[in-house]
Amino acid sequence: MARRRRGRPVNGWIVLDKPAGMTSTRAVSAVRRLLQAAKAGHAGTLDPLATGVLPIALGEATKAMAFVVDSGKSYRFSLCWGQERDTDDAEGSVVSESAARPERGAVEQALVPFVGDISQQPPAYSAIKVDGERAYDLARDGRPPALAPRMVRIDALRLVDWQPPDGAGFEMRCGKGAYVRAIARDLGRALGCFAHVTALRRTRVGPFDEGSAISLDKLQSFGHKEPPEGALLPVETALADIPALAVTGSEASRLKCGQAVRVPSSMEGTIYATADGRPVALAQISGGEVRPVRVFNL
């Protein structure tokens, strides 16, 4: 007999403005506890040092998390010149130092090769799994893994705050899997002065941005009541970039039973089917045949 999940069926998204010093896992647990939700997960890990947009999926929204994890992200961050640290941020131990400090023009010129499709070696302190273990767990045990470089996409990277002699602030837009801490490490090396992240804020993840974010303190102020209108976003918010296909009530029933349906449509690829304005299923459509992949029980 399946184990019954505790909590109530809360479905939708909370865009948490994660505070510094909290892991993403702890943030999810806090939101789930506050809303007494039966099921929750986060779409895109934020470092404990980082603040900002952490989309938390509740209930049926967890079925759409993959689309958010794979979407574009935006960050604001600050660097300190002169030191490289084992974590690539201010929480780590110093591994290299330099008395050199870059000029503003040199920094702006050094940013150019970091934009586009680039090869990036992830930080040793990352959530990447190595033989079933998280890289950061191995690093904390004194066994930092040698992670292979991988291709990532940096859409924009610009200097926005010059703080001589020791720091600078930047903004970055990127695709899935890009690490700000790796940018700091590699930029410091390229400039011959070393660098690490001192502050990091995520400002956007896919369709979610700071404008829809709510602080944990604000969420706590509601107790176990429903958050105000606008704080709990609908499940389909995460599907903004996926084509929607309207189906009839009978077609929706068949899709929810895992059956394919035929529709007069020229769409191809991944879509989400809707009926009466509500999401029915994530599906694959080819040649007018719609096959459900994940069904929403709403």
The residues that are catalytic are: 47
Using CA atoms, how far apart are residues 4 and 165, in angstroms rounded to an integer?
58
Sign of CA dihedral 112, 113, 118, 123: negative
Give the CB-side neighbour count of residue 104, counting CA atoms within 13 A. Answer: 10
Using CA atoms, how far apart are residues 157 and 113, in angstroms rounded to an integer?
10
Using CA atoms, how far apart are residues 219 and 275, in angstroms rounded to an integer?
32
> Could you tell me the CA-to-CA distances from 69 to 81, 220, 287 in Å, in that order?
31, 26, 28
For residue 6, the 8-state DSSP code is P
> Could you tell me the CA-to-CA distances from 119 to 1, 79, 125, 211, 246 in Å, in that order?
48, 21, 18, 32, 41
Instruction: Indicate the SS3 state at residue 212.
Output: helix
Using CA atoms, how far apart are residues 289 and 298, in angstroms rounded to an integer?
23
Residues with Cβ within 8 Å of 192's Cβ and at least 6 positions away in sequence, in order, are 98, 100, 102
Residue 293: other Cβ atoms inside 10 A: 13
